[in-house]
Structure 1
Amino acid sequence: MTTFFIHHQEEFLRSLITFMVVLILKFVFTKAVKKVAKLGDFNKVRTNLIIKYISIALTIISVAVLTLIWSVNFKDLGALLASIFAVIGVALFAQWSILSNITAGVIIFFSYPFKIGNTIRIFDKEIHKTDENGEETFVIEDIRAFHLHLRRRNGEILTYPNSLVLQKGVALVQTYNEDTQDL
């Protein structure tokens, strides 16, 4: 066992460096996301979801780097990965809308001007019902990984996919004021 450690001392050192870099990157990215969330006054659940996505991405990258460091036989690994990706590819093709909603959720987190409590109008004729003013507005109840929870004026809750929020026009009608607790 000792000879194994002596012969692979360089790989262990590179692996240690990889782990340290990944930990530092995770710390830096987590701090950055939390700072963006604080500046944008985002929901803590949304912030933790983005941090989870970053952790998953860093884990995948570190596994790829470790396979290069340890000189894994790519012929054997290639057959294994081809089988895994074939199964994953079929599953992802069947669930493409889920991935687009997750991606849209990340985009909404970083770049959209509305947050929980805002009143919005969505320009989508399929959900469009007009009130006495001739327009349908929704209050954002929650922003999740896959969808928004919107409340109509009559109290009805609507679940609206994140990918459609990016595809349809959305107007910010009124912002939520925490000081007065009013819309």
Structure 2
Amino acid sequence: MYEVFSLYKTEISYTVITVFALLVIQFLLKKAAHRVGKRSEINFTRTRLIFKYINILILILAFFSLSLAWGMDLTDISLIFSSVFAVIGVALFAIWSILSNITSGIILFFSFPYKIGDKIKIHDKDIPIEAIIEDIKAFHLHLRTLDGELITYPNNLILQKAVSLVEKDARLDEGKSSL
């Protein structure tokens, strides 16, 4: 065992430092996302979705960093990443709306001014929609119309259309006044 450690002492040291650094970065990113979610009164399920994105980012960084630490050449790593991203790019180009909706979901997490329970009006020239926001998912919003109809509205479209607040969720206002 001592022989293995002495033979790979540098690589093991880099691995420990890299893992520790990535765990700290992951902790800080999750704490920042949690703080933004709490300050903006965002539902915790949406915050957990951002946590998943942070985990994926940390895994990619870990693979890249550890590959370098264990002696993989930069050209080999770039070949692997370019091949993987080429395959992913072709797959996502075929279904580009999924990527668009995920990106829109991240943007909505940080900058969408409306909350679950708010009644909004989407000013679409073809079909204007007035509904209450029931849930905000990674790909779409769940809207409940005044007639009780459930509408699944894509996140990328909500960013493209004019949206106005008809009525703020009364439960949130009551909760603030009791504090």
Give the TM-score band, short-chain normalised.
0.7 to 0.9
Asked if 1:152 is matched to 2:145, the reply is: yes
Asked if 1:177 is matched to 2:170, the reply is: yes
Partner of 1:35: 35
Q: 1:12 to 1:91 in 2, by over 3 A?
A: same
**Could you say which structure has the higher helix fraction?**
2
Partner of 1:58: 58
Q: 1:23 to 1:165 in 2, by over 3 A?
A: same
1:93 is displaced (CA, Å) by 0.8
SS of the residue corresponding to residue 149 of structure 1 reads strand
Q: For 2:76 and 2:174, how far apart are their aligned partners in 1?
A: 64
Partner of 2:26: 26
Segments of structure 2 that go 5 or more residues without pairing to the other structure are none
Amino acid at match of 1:150: L
Contact 2:120/2:167 (<8 A) preserved: yes
Q: For 1:77 and 1:25, how far apart are their aligned partners in 2?
A: 22
Q: For 1:29 and 1:77, how far apart are their aligned partners in 2?
A: 25
Q: 1:23 to 1:81 in 2, by over 3 A?
A: closer
SS of the residue corresponding to residue 137 of structure 1 reads strand
Q: For 2:25 and 2:81, how far apart are their aligned partners in 1?
A: 26
Q: For 1:78 and 1:111, how far apart are their aligned partners in 2?
A: 34
1:145 is displaced (CA, Å) by 0.2
**Percent identity for Structure 1 against Structure 2:** 48
The count of aligned residue pairs is 174
Segments of structure 1 that go 5 or more residues without pairing to the other structure are 129-135
Partner of 2:91: 91
1:5 is displaced (CA, Å) by 2.6
Q: CA RMSD in A?
A: 2.0
1:78 is displaced (CA, Å) by 5.3
Q: For 1:51 and 1:151, how far apart are their aligned partners in 2?
A: 27
1:41-75 CA distance string (max 9 Å, x none): 11111010011111111111121111222221455
Q: For 2:26 and 2:80, how far apart are their aligned partners in 1?
A: 28
